[in-house]
């Protein structure tokens, strides 16, 4: 986004459509739904609130079960590339 040449910058549409942004949006919407269903305070579903364990793994990549109570993270490097 900080490229000198405008044609080399990532577009807002590319950011909006990025897999990590999509997963983050889905997770935040799910948390909002849970708060509404349970009658909780809406702040707990805001970007400023704390997040549950595993949140980063959920949005950054696929959580892989490596055994009892052990979760690994499998990230596709191409998925994280936003270069033009």
Q: What is the pLDDT of residue 82?
A: 62
Inside any domain, residue 39: yes
Which residues constitute the domain of residue 53?
Answer: 6-80
Q: How many domains does the chain have?
A: 1
Considering the domain boundaries, does residue 64 fall inside one?
yes
- The pLDDT score that the predictor gives to residue 38 is 95
pLDDT at residue number 25: 92
Q: How many other CB atoms are found less than 10 A from the CB of residue 58?
A: 19
Of 58, 67, 68, residue with least CA distance to 20: 58
Residue 1 covered by a domain: no
Residue 58 lies in a domain: yes
Q: Is a pLDDT exceeding 80 seen at residue 70?
A: no
Does a structural domain hold residue 43?
yes
pLDDT tens per residue across span 1-33: 577 888 888 888 988 988 889 989 999 999 999
In-domain check, residue 21:
yes
For residue 74, being part of any structural domain is answered with yes
């Amino acid at each position: 986004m900080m490229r000198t040449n405008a044609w080399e910058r990532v577009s807002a549409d590319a950011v909006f459509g990025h897999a990590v942004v999509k997963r983050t949006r889905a997770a935040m919407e799910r948390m909002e739904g849970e708060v509404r269903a349970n009658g909780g305070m809406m702040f707990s579903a805001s970007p400023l609130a704390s997040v549950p364990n595993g949140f980063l793994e959920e949005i950054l990549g696929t959580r892989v079960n490596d055994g009892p109570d052990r979760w690994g993270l499998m990230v596709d490097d191409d998925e994280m590339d936003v270069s033009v």
